[in-house]
Amino acid sequence: MDLILENQYQTSVLLIECKRVLNTSWTFLNPKTQIDLRTHAKGWVSFVGNDGLKCFDWREVSLDPASAESAYCVVPGEDRSKPLLERVAAEVVSATEAFAGEEKRFLGDSISQFRSYFSAIVTTAKLMTCSFSPDQISITDGKISAQEFQEVDFVRFRKQLSTHIPNSITSLQALAHAKEHTVFVIQAEALVKFLGNFEIHENSIKNLARRL
């Protein structure tokens, strides 16, 4: 990892991999005519209660800043057999889980009983979203007849990035969800803006605590 950042309350950690590219853009596909800003994300949560460790796993939480979410990214000129973003995102997710594991033995001595870990990629590439209606894709040549591009500061990249299969999985649907992860992709010049708004919703923490 290039950067490991911690908030002032020592409750959230952001692991960042930096990618410097020149004169290019990363386009995230949005198969809708408009962008829905999402606040949910999947991060690693370590939660210690009065009776010991209650959570040490990936969990869904809600947090700011809201952004578009996409499972597909187009990078001009890349080898589609080895997609850059998928490969780097998977490495960051693995590093995030490993880092949380390293810190586990310190949880008992921590002032905070709640600690979360999130994955991010910061890049110098321009980030774009491409919104379109799936029924406008030509079956003949695969081209889209109408689309709208928008430059964004950051996006949630949501993809099946993990090969780890929890023992508790009992269905194919649960397996697909377990392998999905969120990696924030942030334009380098917008990193300070992102960090200034990066915060887990209080209700999300309370709801998580009630379920454990």
User: What CA–CA distance (Å, rounded) separates 91 from 156?
Assistant: 16
**Residues 164 and 181 sit within 8 Å (Cβ to Cβ):** no
Position of tokens 């870990």?
Answer: 117
pTM: 0.89
Q: From first to last of its 212 residues, what are the pLDDT tens digits of the chain?
A: 899 999 998 899 999 999 998 889 999 998 888 888 999 999 999 988 777 778 889 999 999 999 999 999 988 876 665 678 999 999 999 999 999 999 888 876 555 578 999 999 999 999 999 998 888 787 877 777 778 899 999 999 999 887 666 666 777 777 777 789 999 999 999 999 999 999 999 898 888 877 76
Q: Residue 29's closest CA among 94, 90, 78, 75?
A: 75
Which residues, 6 or more positions from 110, have their beta carbon under 8 angstroms from its beta carbon? 10, 48
